[in-house]
C-alpha cells in the first residue's frame, strides 16, 4: 500500500517531469528546424528531425559581404565587443556606486536609489528617440561605442541595486579591522570587499552581458550598416516581407543562444550564491 508521502513524492516528480518537457519542447523544436533541410515552417509536432543536415549552420556561419569578407564573423565580433564593453562599464560603475550607497549615508542616497528603481519601470524603447538624437549629435550612430554607452545606461541601475544589496551583507567590521592595521580605503575595497563580493560581480557582469547580447530594438534603430549589426539584428534579416528563411533563422538562434548558455553553465554556482546572498541582510 502506498503511503501519502510516497504519493506526494510521485506526484511532485511527475509534475517536474511534465514541466521539464514543456520547457524543453520549444528548444527541441527550434533545433529540429535548424537541423532539417529546407526553409519551410514545420507543423509536425514531433521534435525529432527525420533528416539531419548542417546546411543552415554552414549558410549562417559563412555569410560574406559583396567584397568576399566574412560578414558573420564581423557581426559576431560586434556583439562580443558591445557585450564585453557593457559588462566592463556596468561592473566598474555599479561596483563603485553600490559600495558608496552601502557604506556612506549622504544626503540624496535613498532618493538616488529610488530613482534608479524608477528607471527600471520603463522599457528601453521609450528612450529610443532621445537617445537617437543624442547619438546623432555626438556622431555616434553606427558606432559600437555609442551602442555600448546606451546599453550601459540601462544596465547600471539594476547592477547598482544588486551590488549595494550584496555589500550590505559584508560586515563593516572586516574593513575596520583592516584600517586599524594601516590599510587605506582603496586597499580595503580592492583586497577585502571585492573578493568577498565575487558572486555578486558574476551576476552583475552576466546581466550586463545579456542586456547587450540579446537586445534588438535599439541596435536595429541605431545601426544601419550591415557590418555594424549585432547578432539579434542579423536574425531579424532572415524574416522578410514576403517570406522567412526559417531554417537559417533557427540555426542563427541556436548560435546566438550558445554563448549565454555556456556562461550560465560555467557560472551557475556563483549565480545562485550571488542572487540569494544579496537578497537578505542578516
Q: Where are the domains of the chain?
A: 1-53, 64-246+253-277
Over its length of 282 residues, how does the chain's per-residue pLDDT go in tens digits?
A: 557 788 888 889 899 999 998 888 888 888 988 888 887 777 777 788 888 889 999 999 998 888 888 999 999 999 999 999 999 988 888 898 889 888 888 888 888 888 887 877 777 778 888 889 989 998 888 889 999 989 988 888 888 888 888 888 888 888 888 888 888 888 888 888 888 888 888 888 888 898 899 899 899 999 888 888 999 999 988 887 677 888 899 999 999 998 888 888 887 776 666 555 544 444
70 — phi, psi (to 5°)?
-75, 100
Q: Can you identify the CATH homologous superfamily of domain 64-246+253-277? A: MetI-like (1.10.3720.10)
Report d(CA 57, CA 186) in Å as an integer: 49
Amino acid at each position: 500500500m502506498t503511503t501519502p508521502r510516497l504519493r506526494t513524492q510521485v506526484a511532485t516528480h511527475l509534475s517536474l517531469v511534465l514541466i521539464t518537457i514543456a520547457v524543453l519542447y520549444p528548444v527541441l523544436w527550434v533545433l529540429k528546424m535548424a537541423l532539417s533541410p529546407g526553409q519551410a515552417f514545420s507543423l509536425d509536432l514531433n521534435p525529432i528531425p527525420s533528416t539531419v543536415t548542417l546546411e543552415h549552420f554552414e549558410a549562417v556561419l559563412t555569410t560574406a559581404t559583396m567584397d568576399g569578407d566574412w560578414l558573420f564573423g564581423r557581426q559576431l565580433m560586434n556583439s562580443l565587443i558591445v557585450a564585453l564593453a557593457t559588462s566592463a562599464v556596468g561592473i566598474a560603475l555599479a561596483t563603485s556606486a553600490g559600495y558608496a550607497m552601502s557604506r556612506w549615508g549622504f544626503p540624496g542616497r535613498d532618493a538616488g536609489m529610488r530613482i534608479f528603481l524608477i528607471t527600471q519601470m520603463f522599457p528601453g524603447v521609450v528612450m529610443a528617440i532621445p537617445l537617437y538624437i543624442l547619438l546623432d549629435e555626438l556622431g555616434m550612430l553606427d558606432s559600437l561605442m555609442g551602442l555600448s554607452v546606451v546599453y550601459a545606461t540601462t544596465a547600471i541601475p539594476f547592477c547598482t541595486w544588486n551590488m549595494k544589496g550584496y555589500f550590505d551583507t559584508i560586515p563593516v567590521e572586516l574593513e575596520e579591522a583592516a584600517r586599524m592595521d594601516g590599510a587605506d580605503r582603496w586597499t580595503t575595497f580592492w583586497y577585502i570587499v571585492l573578493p568577498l563580493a565575487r558572486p555578486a560581480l558574476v551576476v552583475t557582469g552576466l546581466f550586463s552581458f545579456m542586456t547587450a547580447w540579446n537586445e534588438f530594438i535599439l541596435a536595429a534603430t541605431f545601426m544601419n550598416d550591415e557590418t555594424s549589426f549585432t547578432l539579434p539584428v542579423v536574425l531579424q534579416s532572415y524574416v522578410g516581407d514576403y517570406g522567412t528563411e526559417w531554417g537559417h533563422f533557427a540555426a542563427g538562434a541556436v548560435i546566438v543562444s550558445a554563448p549565454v548558455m555556456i556562461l550560465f553553465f560555467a557560472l551557475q554556482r556563483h549565480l545562485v550564491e550571488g542572487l540569494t546572498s544579496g537578497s537578505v541582510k542578516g
